[in-house]
Amino acid sequence: MIGIGVLQQEQEQNGEQESRSDFEWPSSAIVLEILFVTVALELFISLQGTKFMTRMIITISQLTIFTKKYFFQMYKNIIQYYKRKIKFLHLLLKVG
């Protein structure tokens, strides 16, 4: 296994410097979905074969679906807000 320092030295020698500013964080919906799936898997492993485990996985799946719908609606509302604001500013420019 190559250490991080060795890997960085090899990249520098090869002219492959990695810019940290290129890194983009995933959207919060994806992070929450990963969190829910992780919790579901942990419950599945710790509570194998019980009815409670099945109910919890169904509940977590429903929460994931709700979270996706919630974030989609939130982004949709933000876009609509800015569209209205742009239309208003456009009308002000026409009148002025």
Q: Where are the domains of the chain?
A: 4-95
Q: How confident is the model at residue 2 (pLDDT cuts 50, 70, 90)?
A: very low
Q: Over 70: is that where the pLDDT of 54 sits? A: no
- Taken in order 69, 71, 74, 76, the sign of the CA dihedral is negative
The average pLDDT across 61-89 equals 78
Q: How confident is the model at residue 47 (pLDDT cuts 50, 70, 90)?
A: low
Residues 6+ apart with CB under 8 A from 17: 11
The average pLDDT across 54-66 equals 70
Decide which of 47 and 19 is more confident. Answer: 47
Q: Over 60: is that where the pLDDT of 22 sits? A: no
Structure confidence at residue 69 (pLDDT): 74
**Distances from the Cα of 92 to the Cαs of 17, 80, 82, 95, in angstroms?**
49, 18, 15, 5
